[in-house]
Amino acid sequence: MLQCVRNIVADCRGAAIIEAAFVLPMVIALLLGVATFGQWFMIAHTMQQAADEAARAAVAGLNDDDRKTMVSQSVAHSLAVASGVDPKLVSTASKRSGDYYTVTVTYQTRQNKALTIGIVPLPLDPISRQSTVKLMYL
């Protein structure tokens, strides 16, 4: 009987599948977490790029209404060429303060299903990025 128990304990067949059963779920969760965080950072970078381009476009405006139109068009163009960003979840605000013009672009992350799958906790507050330019007068 003791010899039979020793043979069972010493038998290593199937050990790899048991180890894989323990490790594989953690590896999959880690990879999905990296992919989700990567998407969040890509969206944040896209929002900053859109705000920067819109602020630069606003410099060419003749008045504030013209600048707001240019900002809207610039943000729409930036989002059209960006992948993974739903333009319906983006809002744009712009304001003038003296000689400075600020553009704010906000993305509602709570409504993006890919970011709310719950594998890893993400900062689910809206991603809000802004850019400010100095208006030049000749």
Token code pair at residue 75? 């943000």
Residue 95 lies in a domain: yes
The count of domains in the chain is 1
Residue 4 lies in a domain: no
Closest to 39 in 3D by CA, of 131, 120, 105, 104: 120
- Where in the sequence is the domain holding 126, given as residue range(s)? 13-134
pLDDT-based confidence at 8, cuts 50/70/90?
low
Over residues 54-85, the pLDDT tens digits come to: 999 998 888 889 999 999 999 999 999 888 88
Residue 3 lies in a domain: no
Could you give the dihedral angle defined by the CA atoms of residues 83, 79, 131 and 35, in that order, rounded to the nearest 10 degrees? -20
Which of 19-33, 78-92, 115-129 shows the lowest per-residue confidence on average (mean pLDDT)? 115-129
Residue 1 lies in a domain: no
The rounded distance, in Å, linking the Cα atoms of 125 and 87 is 17
**What pLDDT, on a 0 to 100 scale, did the predictor assign at position 11?**
61
Residue 2 lies in a domain: no
Q: With H, G, I as helix, E, B as strand and everything else as coil, classify residue 30.
A: helix
Residue 5 lies in a domain: no
Q: Give residue for tokens 């920067």.
A: 52
Residue 55 lies in a domain: yes
Residue 8 lies in a domain: no
